[in-house]
A and B are shown apart, each in its own frame.
Chain A
């Protein structure tokens, strides 16, 4: 321990005692994306003894511009698991739990109870409010960070009875009113800066040094390199509302949010084949195989979908597929965010779709 953490230990503000505090700490990180990668990386390197990482999502090529824990070899694999792989090599002396699933009202409280500090590295409002409320109900401090294009926000919520995210923004904004990185783009280094600030707040809190960013929210503008700290007061009424809904918390509806499409827009290829007026859209990248040539297909890779949304036929049922059914779901959510309706995601991946199409073509030939 002395060699690995030497540069901590020789700081009088940390010392061996401080390093022992870090090694004994348990931190739960929700989201291993743009914010989550630098957060996890610095916490693991600093020797935070137990780190939990919750993320259901898979690594995509367009993530690599900012999600620095991943390389090409992680493409298509789960982010929480791939983050753990990288972090195990970075620091084998700590424990990392990967939870390759979505944080939901059903599992949030159980996860939070196992940890001392919660870190929000998510990309949608539904999960952010869920995290805030679960942190209040389990009495855990929450390190919040969020980004928009070239700007970021950082705050410490629910710290020793301090203000919460709902004291700042009481109501969850309506879905689709505020776009996220996928829809808007983001400067790659921005989540690096904001995530590193979040990691700094975690380390300060564990070590008990400096002043936590509690009762305040920091705004950062990467273009002007300006930071502004706004003071935030507690709104007890909003906090009481969270407690009042405690009993129903786990029954809270898992509302449709970004990357979380309702099952009604997911369809089986067999059903789609009976539809009329359909436009098939393949959101995979050019190089991905097998190619679907049994039917007419427009190819628009997911990360270019919004650029080419004029290619979508308004009047037709837009039926979207990809390699596994994950990106196509995202595509539907993305289009719905833009107010484009009548979009469907095929639940099967390209391999299966091709098999089913080949069978139905044979069936037609026999007729």
Chain B
């Protein structure tokens, strides 16, 4: 079972992709983020919010099958 991870804005420059499949693990979203930060250490320095299945959620929320999106703030105008 896989989890789809989506990246937006400057985060795609850290990960080199806009989305990827990630093995579904037990735990909460923070656990997934920890694994992602191990994979992409530069992610630790980035600001972002997390959406699970198109809803912005607290990272303490348990993982469910579906999609997790990492959403950074943009400042340009």
A168-B77 contact in complex given A148-B9, A230-B51, A230-B69, C-beta closer than 8 Å: no
CB <8 Å contact, A231 and B9: no
Selected A-B contacts with CB under 8 Å, 10 pairs = A123-B75, A125-B73, A146-B76, A147-B74, A147-B77, A168-B73, A219-B8, A229-B54, A230-B55, A231-B55
Please indicate the chain A residues that have their CB under 8 angstroms from the CB of B76 in the complex.
34, 123, 146-149, 180-181, 184, 186, 191
CB <8 Å contact, A230 and B56: yes
Size category of the B interface is: 20 to 34
CB <8 Å contact, B77 and A122: yes
Query: What 0/1 pattern do residues 32 to 48 of A give for CB contact below 8 A with B?
Result: 01111000000000000
Please indicate the chain A residues that have their CB under 8 angstroms from the CB of B28 in the complex.
none
Q: Which secondary structure characterizes the binding site on chain B? A: loop
Please indicate the chain B residues that have their CB under 8 angstroms from the CB of A139 in the complex.
none
Which residues of chain A have a CB within 8 Å of any CB of chain B? 31, 33-36, 120-125, 128, 145-149, 151-153, 168-169, 173, 177-181, 184, 186, 191, 217, 219, 221, 224, 228-233, 258
Cα-based distance from A146 to B8 in the complex (angstroms)? 13
A-B interface, 10 closest residue pairs, ranked by CB to CB distance from nearest? A146-B74, A123-B77, A148-B74, A181-B76, A147-B76, A231-B55, A35-B77, A230-B51, A148-B9, A180-B76
Cα-based distance from A315 to B54 in the complex (angstroms)? 49
Please indicate the chain A residues that have their CB under 8 angstroms from the CB of B47 in the complex.
169, 173, 177-178
Please indicate the chain A residues that have their CB under 8 angstroms from the CB of B59 in the complex.
none
Please indicate the chain B residues that have their CB under 8 angstroms from the CB of A191 in the complex.
76-77
Please indicate the chain A residues that have their CB under 8 angstroms from the CB of B69 in the complex.
228, 230
B1-41 interface with A by 8 A CB criterion: 8-10, 18
CB <8 Å contact, B55 and A36: no
Number of A-B contacts (CB under 8 A): 91
Cα-based distance from A35 to B75 in the complex (angstroms)? 12
Cα-based distance from A234 to B47 in the complex (angstroms)? 19
Q: Which secondary structure characterizes the binding site on chain A? A: mixed
**Shortest CB–CB separation between residue B21 and chain A, in angstroms?**
18
Please indicate the chain A residues that have their CB under 8 angstroms from the CB of B54 in the complex.
228-231
Q: Name the residue in B45, B46, B55, B77 with the highest tally of chain A Cβ atoms < 10 Å from its Cβ.
A: B77
Cα-based distance from A121 to B71 in the complex (angstroms)? 20
CB <8 Å contact, B75 and A178: yes
Query: What 0/1 pattern do residues 34 to 69 of B give for CB contact below 8 A with A?
Result: 000000000001110101001110000000000001
CB <8 Å contact, A125 and B55: no
A178-B56 contact in complex given A173-B47, A228-B69, C-beta closer than 8 Å: no
Please indicate the chain A residues that have their CB under 8 angstroms from the CB of B77 in the complex.
31, 33-36, 120-123, 145-147, 180-181, 191
CB <8 Å contact, B75 and A180: yes
